[in-house]
Structure 1
Amino acid sequence: MTLLSNWETLVRLLVAAVLGSLIGFERERLLWAAGIRTHMLICVGACLFMIVSAFGFADSLSAQHVVLDPSRVAAQVVSGIGFLGAGAILARGEIVRGLTTAASIWTVAAIGLAVGGGLYFAAGLSTTIILAILAGVKPLEEAYRDRSQTCRLVIKTARGALTPENLKGALKVRNVRSSDF
């Protein structure tokens, strides 16, 4: 196994930074906490882990009686990234937020691993698909919700006679979002 040249290492890390920034920018424009810098750092970090995993143990592997599986380092990125993703998920009562951000963090790590492994086409194509999902599917999702999961209910009552908690109980629903109360 040959080592990467400094030039190839630089190219891989920069490509990872660019691809991570594209997805991070999409999250940033929606004002999510995990934005450009977070996605870039995750992608570059995963890329570096893959480079180290694939090429960092070449000397050790050539020694006698040494049995190592360098791919285990890259495999641990997948587990480790789960902790960052979990940190992006917020649960407030029965409303969960941050799942898409957690998923974008996870996929950016996969892109970094692909770039670190020299799979530029797979990384670029994945970035394109992920951007299409994040930016293109959201309007469809919102249109569906507006059409099928929204209703208008006007209740007129004496001032102070109805509270949000009473409304939930009367309607027998768990998640009531009111635009005006």
Structure 2
Amino acid sequence: MLSNGELILRLILAAVLGSVIGFERERQSWAAGLRTHMLVCVSAALVMIVSAFGFADVLGRPNVVLDPSRIAAQVVSGIGFLGAGAILLRGEVIRGLTTAASVWSVAAIGLAVGAGLNTAAIAATIIILAILAGMKAIERRYIAVRLRRRVVLRVDRGALTLDSLRAVLGRGSERVKHFVVQQSEEAPECDDVVIGFARLPADEFAKACDLLRHAPGVRALREETESVDNGESAENGGNGGN
């Protein structure tokens, strides 16, 4: 059985290691941030301690068999429900996968601390932090660069709504990532409409622009294409971002 001092040290170590991962997520303004990761890590450590040492008083009794892995196994599967809450689907873009994975990872770190595998827990924390913080720059530079395409329209007041946009674009409306309508400051009788597309090839974007250009009430259309990094959108989503 653990001494009280060893038990407290393990829980504190779990909190510290969880905070290291959580701080990186908090810095990116994700829903599962510092406190969430600390709580998951400490709780997982406590579950592991209870699983391994919480039934010592019944050991040795007839027909009593202790399997310390059973409760810990439920953490591995059960933490997925918490991680699922960090995943968002916006249009065709999935955001939050990295944060969900980091929550699952700190649960594993907590289990390792609870089992007394401090070296493994610390090493895993360093590796996971390097993946979250270090690999992001590499991903932005070499992997996740893509094109963001959008159009800015000036239309007659109320001429373009979400329903009419679907009618104009047809199946192409499935590629619309965001649709913003606001009163034009330069022409009060008009609306300025911004339409962003997700992962739209150049030929389909040109076709969509041509359809919008000839839509009823459209006075002007401006195309915008820029290179952006995918950030958390394929894994992140994030509160915005992943």
Q: Normalised by the size of structure 2, how large is the TM-score?
A: 0.64
**2:147 counterpart of 1:150:** yes
Post-superposition Cα deviations, 1:55-102, rounded to whole Å, max 9, x if no partner, equal 001122221111232310111111110110111111122211110010
Q: Is the 8 A contact 1:168 1:174 kept in 2?
A: no
Give the RMSD, CA atoms, in angstroms. Answer: 2.9
Post-superposition Cα deviations, 1:29-66, rounded to whole Å, max 9, x if no partner, equal 00101111000000000000000000001122221111
- 3-state DSSP of counterpart to 2:89: strand
Higher strand proportion: 2
Q: Tell me the distance in 2 between the aligned counterparts of 1:36 and 1:172.
A: 36
Determine the structure 2 residue equivalent to 1:11: 9
Deviation at 1:174, TM superposition (A): 7.0
Determine the structure 1 residue equivalent to 2:206: none
- Distance of aligned partners of 1:170 and 1:63 in 2 relative to their CA distance in 1, 3 Å threshold: closer
Higher Rg of the two aligned structures: 2
Q: Is the 8 A contact 1:60 1:66 kept in 2?
A: yes
Higher helix proportion: 1
Q: Normalised by the size of structure 1, how large is the TM-score?
A: 0.84
- In structure 2, stretches of 5+ residues that fail to align are 178-196, 200-222, 226-242
- 1:150 partner letter: L
- In structure 1, stretches of 5+ residues that fail to align are none
Post-superposition Cα deviations, 1:4-43, rounded to whole Å, max 9, x if no partner, equal 0000001100000000000000000001011110000000
2:155 to 151, 156, 160: 160
Q: Tell me the distance in 1 between the aligned counterparts of 2:95 and 2:64.
A: 46
Question: Any runs of at least 4 consecutive aligned residues in structure 1 with deviations exceeding 3 A, and if so which?
Answer: 158-161, 163-175, 177-181
Q: Tell me the distance in 2 between the aligned counterparts of 1:22 and 1:151.
A: 33
**2:101 counterpart of 1:135:** no
- Distance of aligned partners of 1:30 and 1:168 in 2 relative to their CA distance in 1, 3 Å threshold: farther
Deviation at 1:151, TM superposition (A): 6.7
- Over the matched positions of the two proteins, sequence identity in percent amounts to 61
2:123 to 113, 125, 129: 125
Q: Tell me the distance in 2 between the aligned counterparts of 1:81 and 1:135.
A: 23
Moved more, 29-38 or 67-76: 67-76
Determine the structure 1 residue equivalent to 2:112: 114
- Paired residues in the alignment total 175
Determine the structure 2 residue equivalent to 1:42: 40
Q: Tell me the distance in 2 between the aligned counterparts of 1:33 and 1:173.
A: 26
